[in-house]
Every structure is written in C-alpha cells, then in structure tokens.
Amino acid sequence: MIIEQRDQSRRLNDELITAITEPLQKAVGSSASQVDQMVSKLATSLSDGLVAAMTITSDRLESASSKLAGLANEISSAAAQFSSAAERTAVGLDGAAQRLEAVSEKLSNAGSELADAAAPMVQTASETATATRQIANASTEMVDAARTAISSEKDVAVTALNTIRDQIKTFEARAASYDGQLEKAFRSFSEEIARSISEVENHSNNVHGQYADALATLQAVIENAKAFQPESQRPAQ
C-alpha cells in the first residue's frame, strides 16, 4: 500500500512538472521574440534617419563653405582697391570717383553672390529639420510598438500563470482521491507555488511599470524634437 501511494505521488509530481513547464516555455519564447523585434526595428529606424540627415547636411554645408571662401577673397580685393582709391583722392577727384565706382560694382557683385551662397544654407536647415521630423515620427511609431509589445508580453505571462494554477487545482483534486495525507501535502505544495506565482506577478508588474515610465520619457523627448524649428525658418518677430 505504501509503495503504491509513493508511486502514485511520484507519478503526480512528474505529470505536474510537465504540465506547468509547457506554458512557461511558451511565455518565455514569446516575450523574447517580441523584444528582439522591437529592438531591431528601433535600431534600423534611428540608424537610417540619422545617416540620411547627416549626409544631406554635410553636402550642403560643404558647398556653401566653398562659395563663402570665394566671397572672402572678393571682399578683400574690393577693400584693397577702396583703400588705394582713398590714397589717391588728393591727386584727382575724377580718378578717385572712377575707382570708387569700380569698388562699388565689386561690392554689389559680392553681395549678390553672398545671397546665392546663403540660399543652400537655408535649404540645408530646412532639409535637416525635415529629416529630424522624419526620425521623430519613426521613433514615435517605435514607442507605440514597444507599448504594444509590453502589453502583449504581459498578457502572455498572465495566461501562462493562470494555466499553471488550473493544472495545480486539477492535480490537487486527483491527489484527494488517492489519500487524505497526500491531498494535504499536495495542498501545501500548491500554496507555495501560488505564493511564488504571486511574487512573480508583482515583479512583472513593477518591471512593466518602470518600462512604461521610460517610454513616456522617450515620448516627451520625441515630441520636443518634433517642435524644434531652425532660426532660419522662424517667422520674423
């Protein structure tokens, strides 16, 4: 009789371990897959957006820098001629007037070229702001996806825990049909498992709460980035 009860107890334990292992493995696998997908998508979106923005900015600024370097030479030349004309004013007002006219023309041309060189810089600022908004939009989508993944992962964990509880109740009822002492021992075992599950649930809730706070902070940073507008694009006061 004792040997039979011991065999029955051992068989119940083996079946219970098998029953509660399966939902736990499914929960762990599902959670890991969702987190991997979220991290991969976030890295791809941010990397692509930043590379595009940096490439556009570098090309535009390099072009504007070359034009401004040429303008510096033109203005320096005009200043030198103006100085020379001033020194010769005493010799003849007519000669000075002619030189001043030439200097004026050079300064006028330099001003036009300066305006032309400024245009690409304004365009660069505009395109950089556009790229920043695109990155912010992609980041917003990733925050939403992360929230969805967190919620889904938590649902999987809760489902697994409920499945384990149901399995424990089923085995407790089977134990009662064999022997009263076995039922009592099994109930104690069930209570310990239930207490452990409760602690796991509390820990999971705390982790998800902290993750949600971090996502809320990231959301605020992204919204601030969306609101950014370069000085060159702001309306005149």
pLDDT tens digit sequence for 64-90:
556 555 655 665 565 566 555 555 544
Q: What is the pTM of this model?
A: 0.42
The answer to whether residue 99 scores a pLDDT higher than 70 is no
Count other C-beta atoms under 10 Å from residue 35's C-beta.
Answer: 14
pLDDT tier at 166, thresholds 50, 70, 90: confident
Helix (H, G, I), strand (E, B) or coil at 15: helix
The answer to whether residue 6 scores a pLDDT higher than 50 is yes
What is the separation, in whole angstroms, between the first and last Cα of the chain? 96
Residue bearing the bigger pLDDT, 160 or 135? 160
Average pLDDT over residues 215-221: 68
Reported as type and span, the H/E element at residue 103 is helix 93-178
Q: How far apart are CA 144 and CA 98, in angstroms?
A: 70
Predicted pLDDT at 231: 47
**Interval 37-57: pLDDT, tens:** 655 565 555 555 555 555 655
Predicted pLDDT at 232: 46
Reported as type and span, the H/E element at residue 223 is helix 180-227
pLDDT tier at 167, thresholds 50, 70, 90: confident
The pLDDT > 90 percentage for the chain reads 0
Q: How far apart are CA 215 and CA 147, in angstroms?
A: 8
pLDDT tier at 233, thresholds 50, 70, 90: very low
- CA 205, 210, 213, 215 dihedral sign is negative
Q: Which distant-in-sequence residues (6+ apart) come within 8 Å of 232 by Cβ?
A: 121, 122, 125, 126
